[in-house]
Structure 1
Amino acid sequence: MEIKVFASIKEKVGSDTIDLFVGDSISVGDLKNHIFVDYPELDGEVFQVAKNEAFVKDDELVTSSDTVALIPPVSGG
């Protein structure tokens, strides 16, 4: 599964995407846990998960055919 990343997450992983092998589908909560194991540099990073351009909760399933993104908090003025 290719996951789009932005801002501080992008800086920490050194790329605008991360690739994870997660099988056919996975819950968002399990996806987050998998990310923290495979990318320990993201430990403690705060972000929301978007599936097909909509924020989703930890119990939602995502598949490899979905567009998945990690969105860190945005500040502005």
Structure 2
Amino acid sequence: MKLLYFAWVRERVGRAEDEVSPPAGVGTVAELIEWLRGRGPEYAHAFEAGPAIRAAVDRRHARPDASVAGAREVAFFPPMTGG
């Protein structure tokens, strides 16, 4: 699974993307975020906002309870504001 990071999520992780194989127990966006938080201090810092982080699974906006099973790409980005 390819992970893409945008804006301050990318800055905190220190890279634009990763290629990962999450363990079997990771089935939703929320579980993926929790697993990523355990990958190191940079990931813990990037994902400390938890539910505020937005995700897209295979280029479709996804809620925290959305499945990541079979996903080829998951993108993470901070909440957007309008103006």
Identify unmatched segments of 5+ residues in structure 2: none
**RMSD value over aligned CA atoms?**
2.2
Query: Which contiguous aligned blocks of 4+ residues in structure 1 show a shift greater than 2 angstroms?
Result: 18-21, 63-66, 74-77
Deviation (angstroms), 1:13: 1.2
Residues 9-51 of structure 1: per-residue CA shift (max 9 Å, x gap)? 1111111013433146621121111122222122236311101
Name the amino acid aligned to 1:33. E
Aligned residues: 77
SS at match of 2:27: strand
More strand per residue = 1
Q: Which runs of 5+ in 1 are unaligned?
A: none
- Aligned counterparts, 1:32-51, within 5 A: 32-38=33-39, 39-42=43-46, 43-44=48-49, 46-51=52-57
Tell me if the contact between 1:3 and 1:69 (Cα under 8 Å) persists in the aligned partners.
yes
Which residue number in structure 2 is paired with residue 17 of structure 1? Answer: 17
**Aligned partners of 2:71 and 2:53: how far apart in 1?**
21
- Structure 1 length-normalised TM: 0.76
Q: TM-score, normalised by structure 2?
A: 0.72
Matched residue SS, 1:61: coil
